[in-house]
Chain A
């Protein structure tokens, strides 16, 4: 079975550009999470969805960040405009109810 699939795996962009990260959760999972990981701050929860509905977005840093889940098999995290301090690894994860949380391989973002 395919795990959580994220794209792109790596992205290098310039400050001010729009960045879109994509995630396909494991089929049948009803919760989806977006995390950001940096050396300084560790893994931070940005937002999570239950049944495609955003439940808690209190971790989203600011208005430049937005996330959507138009259906059960797809989610996006968008940063517009991007800034150097957004450089991090962005992980998407999914789970079924309160089961094990499965992570994608991450999207490594570098903003120059």
Chain B
């Protein structure tokens, strides 16, 4: 089993749609969780950290369920500019420094 697993995608949605991405992780000792965004042929960039209580940044909402070892990202009112690959990132157990990336989920927002 992979350490971090994501929905395979691609997700093709119309502008204005709400889309949700899921991610599961295998190590129950993981402490830090993030969503990164990667545009085509570019480097990944931090989208948002994921906190235990859940957090929101504009149209983006991230949630963490430690019991189920599950992270989600919700994008509301999707824009064409949201088209990218979204990467779930988890630190490896009690190795705080070691960050493991999921395979990524591709999102394509169409007019």
Is A bound to B? Answer: yes
In the complex, per-residue mask of A44-55: 1 if CB is within 8 Å of any chain B CB, else 0: 010010100001
Distance in angstroms between the alpha carbons of A90 and B98 in the assembled complex: 17
Q: SS class of chain B's interface: helix, strand, loop or mixed?
A: strand
Number of residue pairs across A and B with beta carbons under 8 Å? 41
- What bracket does the count of chain B residues touching chain A fall in? 10 to 19
Nearest B residue to A101 via CB reads B99
Q: Place the interface of chain A in its size category.
A: 10 to 19
Contact flag A100-B46 (CB < 8 Å), given A43-B87, A56-B95 = yes
B95, A103: Cβ atoms under 8 Å?
no
Contact of B43 among A33, A48, A105 (CB under 8 A): A105
Residues of B participating in the A interface, judged by any CB pair closer than 8 Å? 32, 34, 42-46, 87, 89, 95-104
